[in-house]
Copies of this chain bind each other. A is one copy, B any other.
């Protein structure tokens, strides 16, 4: 008898769903909209209907389904309780119980960034590494810590919130979290734009970045074209992120750091800036950590969610 599982990545605008076999092959993937009206009360019923509909369409019996994993945008504890998801209108809720009740299937829930880390470990850039850290460089800096093949959830689901490691004492700008000087303020897409804006204002030197809208992509494109100012900005970025990852290494001593998120599309040149600064600051016992690019892109969440329920 064939066996299946579903991986669900619940985002603020769409829900991605994947049908997997237990070896990590995605048999089909699709999306449905996230209906946030009515305090998000339709979201889990919509997901249940989508999963049950697919099972009927493909004539998959309930006893062939190992379960449904789901990554959600908020802190989730190991029992599947989400404490708050402002984006979705949710308060405290046990997702495993509610969605499991609708589906009459085992459901395992995790935080989306942590679940993405599990996905990259299973089938992506972290394949082969049981102890790894996923670093997601997007609008913010997210993270997921994998220890012995499992997500490190933490006491209140805030494990892997690495974007809020304190880096700078005299930062005048405030981070989204309310603190000042968080890693996210220097190493995210918006952080890189801040570094670039400051650098361009502090010098009159020529740079291709003066002729276009400054984005993280523009900075790394300019680096590849040999622009001196862009290289200095990338060096600053690498210094902050390398230093932050060195701190993380003193805590969890991973085999590998896997870098994902939109900013990571810059590719190997980005890894180089981070890795060389990491080595400058890290404890000697952690110097050999590998630096890899994430490979699953936006699918990391559905892969990780599927793996979450397979490991349940």
Contact = CB atoms under 8 A, between A and B. Distances in A.
Interface of A: 75, 78, 131, 145, 147-148, 152-166, 177-179, 243, 246-255, 281, 283-286, 288-289
Q: Of residues A178, A251, A283, which shows the largest number of chain B Cβ atoms within 10 Å of its Cβ? A: A251
A162 B281 contact: no
Chain A interface mostly helix, strand, loop or mixed?
Answer: loop
A143 to B, nearest CB: 8
Contact of A253 (B148, B159, B246): B159
A177 B283 contact: yes
B251 A288 contact: no
Contacts of A162: 250-251
Contact of A281 (B78, B159, B179): B179
Number of chain copies forming the complex: 2
B154 A254 contact: yes
Contact of A75 (B252, B281, B285): B285
Contact of A161 (B163, B250, B254, B255): B250
A251 B160 contact: yes
A250 B75 CA distance: 13
Contacts of A281: 166, 179
Contacts of A155: 131, 253-255, 286, 289
B250 A165 contact: yes
A252 B252 contact: yes
B251 A178 contact: no
Contacts of A152: 147, 152, 252
Contacts of A131: 154-155
Contacts of A154: 131, 252-254, 286
